[in-house]
Amino acid sequence: MERSTQHTATSTSFLSSGSDAVIRIRNLHKSFEETTVLRGVDLDLKKEENLVVLGRSGTGKSVLIKCIVGLITPDKGQIEVLGEDVLNLDAKAMNTLRRKVGFSFQLSALYDSMTIRENLEFPLKRNLGIYDRKELNHRVEQALEEVGLAQAIDQWPADLSGGQKKRIGVARTLILNPEIMLYDEPTAGLDPITSEEINELILEVQKRHGTSSIIITHDLTCARTIANRLIFLHKGQNHFDGSFEELSNTKDPLLRTFLDYYNI
């Protein structure tokens, strides 16, 4: 389904209207000084869905998911995550919500001064107050086994490849058992074989943990492999919402320019 969205004011019934969506966004706007990035974005993420967000650089994709977890405050709009009105949460409530939303950063965001073990222990200690050595060992080892890197437990981030760092970043996020996963460019900078491994990992996380995920990517191979549904942002607005098959068969000139670059 293709559409150009005309935005109107969102009704006050947003939070009580009922939906199976775990994330609902309406009329989201964000500018940085003179640059407008989001111009009224709408988004629904359904339970246990992998939703891919596509678009050219500068269309606000990464800004969008940072707004979801309160890393960026939008200028206008509404965001509901797991039934919570994000923009009206105090700091304590926001931190509680963030424990349920895993954020896999583009550059993995590992602490270079910590071993892999220490990197994974850090959120357990900080967020869950777990300091028991036996419990920490169990959780860290289990998380690393899930991403196929149990042998890396006492290595340093500098010793790992880009793909391995991505996996460790996912493991550190999964260790808190989030209900929602946000992936920012999960295959960026990786070779095709490693990218395929990361795609399979995202699918395995969805299957094993029943997570609902938003995946920001430029990689159409990634999108084709993992997406249950896609949206395409153009100039900070919704331009397309549908399946990969619908996207690949589009006659929309703007989308065709994007797809033809990747020979789709």
Does residue 132 lie in a domain region?
no
pLDDT-above-70 percentage for the chain: 92
Is 75:239 a contact under the CB 8 Å cutoff?
Answer: no
**In the predicted structure, residue 12 carries a pLDDT above the cut 50:** no
Does residue 120 lie in a domain region?
no
pLDDT-above-90 percentage for the chain: 62
Q: What is the per-residue pLDDT for 219?
A: 85
Structural domain for 66, as ranges:
2-100+178-261
Q: What is the pLDDT of residues 193-250, one digit of tens each?
A: 988 989 999 999 999 989 999 999 988 888 999 999 999 999 999 999 999 999 999 9
Q: What is the pLDDT of residues 65-115, one digit of tens each?
A: 999 999 999 999 999 999 999 999 999 999 899 989 988 876 667 899 999
Does residue 131 lie in a domain region?
no
Q: What is the pLDDT of residues 161-186, one digit of tens each?
A: 988 998 898 899 889 999 999 998 88
Where does the pLDDT of residue 2 fall: very low under 50, low under 70, confident under 90, or very high at 90 and above? Answer: very low
Looking at the structure of the chain, the number of domains it has is: 1
Q: What is the per-residue pLDDT for 226?
A: 94
Residue 240 sits in a domain whose CATH number is 3.40.50.300
**In the predicted structure, residue 11 carries a pLDDT above the cut 70:** no
DSSP the chain: -B--PPP-PPPTTGGGS--SEEEEEEEEEEEETTEEEEEEEEEEEETT-EEEEE--TTSSHHHHHHHHTTSS--SEEEEEETTEEGGG--HHHHHHHHTTEEEE-TTTT--TTS-HHHHHHHHHHHHH----HHHHHHHHHHHHHHTT-GGGTT--GGGS-HHHHHHHHHHHHHTT--SEEEEESTTTT--HHHHHHHHHHHHHHHHHH--EEEEE-S-HHHHHHH-SEEEEEETTEEEEEE-HHHHHT---HHHHHHHHHTT-
